[in-house]
């Protein structure tokens, strides 16, 4: 079984953007609006259909505990069938965070394949999809991403990344995610 640490940099220290969270530096990186995995029921269904098409039977969600402000020692983890719906997904997340979206949390999303992963970042508020080139167009279609998504998300990114005082740190985000 693929573990979160097979796809993402999971360490004792905090690893989150602007640092590179994906192990596979050859992935294509696509950016989309963050805050939730998907925008609506239809997009969740499209995502489930994509996962089925690439041979997944389930996918995993794991909190990046190092990037979350908490006293907890263990991250929230959940497994979802590719036959699940958005209502089921949201209900499971609400078991952990009853005010879903009010806690500052970062999330690793992945399947059984090592060919893709999604990182849901609280800062900047963006989802970063890492995937092999053969899957990139499929993810673009599901998440309605043009190119690598930067043009669509540039205003948000520039506004949020201004909060990082050191320009070298800001530039590291762009270098790590090939923007």
Q: How many structural domains are present in the chain?
A: 1
The answer to whether residue 4 sits within a structural domain is: no
12 within some domain: no
Task: Say if 116 falls within a structural domain.
Answer: yes
Question: Does some domain include residue 19?
Answer: no
Phi, psi of 77 (to 5 degrees): -140, 145
Distance CA 80, CA 141 (A): 22
Tokens linked to 172 = 């590291």
Structural domain including 113 reads: 26-176
Asked if residue 48 belongs to a domain, the reply is: yes
Full-prediction pTM beyond 0.85? yes
Helix (H, G, I), strand (E, B) or coil at 138: helix
User: Is-cis flag, bond preceding 124, omega within 30?
Assistant: yes
What would the pLDDT profile of 83-105 be if each residue is shown by its tens digit? 999 999 999 887 876 544 545 67
Closest CA to 33 of 135, 111, 114, 101: 101
pLDDT tens per residue, range 159-170:
988 888 888 988
């Amino acid at each position: 079984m693929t573990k979160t640490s097979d796809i993402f940099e999971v360490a004792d220290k905090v690893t989150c953007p602007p640092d590179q969270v994906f192990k596979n530096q050859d992935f294509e990186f696509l950016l989309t609006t963050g805050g939730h995995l998907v925008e609506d029921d239809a997009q969740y269904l499209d995502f489930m259909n994509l996962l089925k098409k690439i041979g997944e039977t389930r996918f995993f969600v794991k909190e990046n505990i190092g990037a979350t402000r908490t006293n907890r020692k263990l991250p929230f983890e959940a497994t979802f069938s590719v036959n699940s719906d958005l209502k089921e997904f949201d209900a499971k997340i609400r078991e952990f965070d009853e005010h879903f979206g009010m806690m500052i949390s970062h999330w690793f999303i992945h399947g059984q394949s090592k060919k893709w992963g999604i990182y849901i970042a609280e800062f900047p508020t963006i989802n970063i999809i890492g995937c092999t080139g053969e899957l990139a167009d499929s993810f673009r279609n599901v998440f309605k991403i043009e190119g690598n998504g930067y043009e669509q998300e540039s205003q948000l990114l520039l506004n949020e990344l201004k909060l990082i005082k050191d320009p070298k740190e800001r530039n590291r985000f762009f270098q790590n995610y090939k923007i």
